[in-house]
Amino acid sequence: MKFVDEARIKVHAGNGGRGAVSFRREKFIPFGGPDGGDGGNGGSVYLRAATGINTLADFRVERTFKAKSGEPGSGNDCTGRGGDDLYIPVPVGTVITDADTGEQLGDLLREGETLLVAKGGKGGWGNTRFKSSTNRAPRQYGPGLPGEKRTLLLELKVIADVGLLGLPNAGKSTLISAVSAARPKIADYPFTTLHPNLGVVSVGEHRSFVMADIPGLIEGAAEGAGLGIRFLKHLQRTRVLLHLVDIAPPDPEADPVKDARAIVGELKKFSKELAAKPRWLVLNKIDLLPPEEADKRCADIVRRLRWKGPVYKISGATGKGTRELMQAVMRALEEIDAAARQAEQEAEAARTQSV
């Protein structure tokens, strides 16, 4: 199935029902008076995050969603039936924006989380509501208010703990297939990966994280070249980036250091926040060179990049070094979680003291 990460839809909440104009007419009750009931409220439209949906492809077929309107009121002070609310399932990680104003309405991050995007119209008053000492036989009624209409932009940002970054054919798909059950397409030509792939990496009992394989970047991506810039937004939720560098590129004139710097440049152009995330250097395909030459080339790359962060040498094809890398990533994620919990506890304690 084609991966679709953006969609444009229209939502229309239900209109409120019309109020009734009615008078009580029963035998032996000559002054029955007005008894028109109110109209029912229109149904509202909600978006609900649901698991099992991985793309926004369904919204390429059905683009207009309308909730049911409220029914009119009737005599004997009977209120019309309200319209049922409409719940639209979307993938977890969907960002909702008003297309007309540009306002971000919500970000559905957890399964079952809902967002009201169009409120139903209120039902109109029946003529009973207009009764007074000076207006004993009112014939006024409320027509019911219209439901809200909106055009929405839906944007899916996959939720992953770790993101893989690098040129096409840097070995991202090979790595994710080696350490998880994900089976992305792998070939020896650029742009094999055409959409993000997610894999769950298990490093022990009750210890796992989600890794995202993002289509490769090339120089000039920020200006529209290649595929990766469109999918960089999927890395915005990650907590650690693994920058894969092919130490033995098939093109003998290729310079891994120059290519790595180009990737960092495109990352900064896209988002300063994304570029500031923890990023590890992963030197891949060490199996393609003799051990001594591989070590020498890795040391040269680290020196020329003036790299100060974590460095790992691996082979995604043979699995060498991948276990140590995944264990280190798991420890880093646990430390990030612990720091976040501590910060939250300190903030809660500060709020309690201020009260």
Residue 279's pLDDT is 92
Q: Find the range with the poorest average confidence among 57-61, 207-211, 218-222.
A: 218-222
Q: Find the range with the poorest average confidence among 32-41, 206-215, 243-252.
A: 206-215
What values do phi and psi take at 10, rounded to 5? -115, 135
Q: Is 10 exposed, middle or buried (0-12, 13-18, 19+ CB in 10 A)?
A: middle
Closest listed residue to residue 150, CA positions, set 9, 7, 5 = 9
Does the structure show a pLDDT above 60 at 225?
no
CA distance linking residue 98 with residue 304, whole number of Å: 46
Q: Summarize pLDDT for 83-125 with one digit per residue, the tens.
A: 999 999 998 889 999 999 999 999 998 899 999 999 999 999 9
Mean pLDDT score across all residues of the chain: 86
57 pLDDT band (50/70/90 cuts)?
confident
* Average pLDDT score over residue span 260-284: 86
Does the structure show a pLDDT above 70 at 218?
no
Residue 195's pLDDT is 61
Residue 293's pLDDT is 94
> Is residue 169 within 8 Å of residue 192, measured between CB atoms?
yes
More confident position, 8 or 1: 8
What values do phi and psi take at 316, rounded to 5? -65, -30
Q: Which two tokens stand for residue 333?
A: 């994620």
The percentage of residues in the chain with a pLDDT greater than 70, rounded to a whole number, is 90
Does the structure show a pLDDT above 60 at 340?
yes
Residue 330's pLDDT is 93
C-alpha to C-alpha distances, 325 to 12, 51, 152, 303, nearest whole angstrom: 50, 29, 41, 21
* Average pLDDT score over residue span 70-95: 93
Does the structure show a pLDDT above 90 at 220?
no
Overall pTM > 0.95: no
CA distance linking residue 199 with residue 197, whole number of Å: 7
Residue 184's pLDDT is 53
Does the structure show a pLDDT above 60 at 154?
yes
More confident position, 308 or 28: 308
> Is residue 224 within 8 Å of residue 266, measured between CB atoms?
no
More confident position, 65 or 210: 65
Q: Which domains does the chain have, with CATH numbers?
A: 6-156 (2.70.210.12), 162-345 (3.40.50.300)
More confident position, 65 or 179: 65
More confident position, 187 or 154: 154
More confident position, 346 or 14: 14
Helices (H), 196-321: 228-231, 256-270, 272-275, 291-305
Length of the chain (residues): 355
Does the structure show a pLDDT above 90 at 167?
no
169 pLDDT band (50/70/90 cuts)?
confident
Q: Is 208 exposed, middle or buried (0-12, 13-18, 19+ CB in 10 A)?
A: middle
Does the structure show a pLDDT above 80 at 71?
yes
C-alpha to C-alpha distances, 202 to 247, 267, 313, nearest whole angstrom: 27, 28, 20
